[in-house]
Amino acid sequence: MPRFYARQRLSILAALTGLIASVGLFNGPTASAALPTPVSAATARGYLASLTVATENRTGYSRDLFPHWITISGTCNTRETVLVRDGSNVVTDSECRSVSGSWYSPFEGATQTAASDIDIDHLVPLAEAWDSGAGAWTTTQRRAFANDLTRPQLIAVTDRVNQAKGDKDPAEWMPSRTAYHCTYVRAWVQVKYYYGLSVDSAEKSALTGYLNAC
């Protein structure tokens, strides 16, 4: 059972507290915000050592089994909330759509000025989560994973880069900007650990190498 299940109410309360504090941001320019800071490399190495190593299984997967994007506050859904959080000088309309601003994509180091050029990346992809344990979850649990604003799981990045990543794990794909590798793998391991997901052998080997270089 995912580690988050027993702590779900506490996590929801924490998320709501943060959203209430930031609700005023949706109506005007905002400062740039970052992905929630992942655990340290040392902590990530400890988490990785405890993860189950298992062969992945995609049988029965559908993206629709992970409901997203859900309403977070007012007219703002998860995507729109992350666009505001991760952007600079973001202005939204009455429907919470970002009409201006800029977004720095840490995967490749490019800045975009149109929200339409931005995807919200699930750092651990939905298909990868399914492959490594989420197939046994309830819809409620999958919804929580797909819209998690508390863990370092959602980040605004250039759409073409996100599409190139697809559902690949760190043995198959890493950000082209090497300066972001340590942050990326620390976040990946934290998310997998929190949700009780497994890793395959190639994935664990790649993660081990990147974390050892942090």
Among candidates 119, 123, 126, which has minimal Cα distance to 103?
Answer: 119
- DSSP per-residue letters across 112-170: ES-GGGEEEEESS-HHHHHHTTGGGS-HHHHHHHHT-SSSTTEEEEEHHHHHHHTT--T
> Tens digit of pLDDT for each residue in 135-161?
999 999 999 999 999 999 999 999 999
- pLDDT at residue 19, rounded to an integer: 36
- pLDDT at residue 34, rounded to an integer: 78
- Per the DSSP assignment, residues forming a β-bridge with 87 are 103
pLDDT (mean) for 123-144: 98
Task: Give rounded-to-5 percent helix, strand, coil for the chain.
Answer: 45, 15, 35
Amino acid type, 80: E
- pLDDT at residue 8, rounded to an integer: 43
| Residues present in the chain in total | 214
> Distance between CA atoms of 146 and 153, rounded to whole angstroms?
8
- Per the DSSP assignment, residues forming a β-bridge with 120 are 156
pLDDT (mean) for 123-131: 98
pLDDT (mean) for 18-27: 34
Contact 134, 145 (CB under 8 A): yes
Average pLDDT, the chain: 88
> Model-level pTM?
0.85
The answer, yes or no, to whether residue 35 has pLDDT greater than 70, is: yes
> Tens digit of pLDDT for each residue in 175-196?
999 999 999 999 999 999 999 9
Task: Give percent of the chain with pLDDT exceeding 90.
Answer: 84
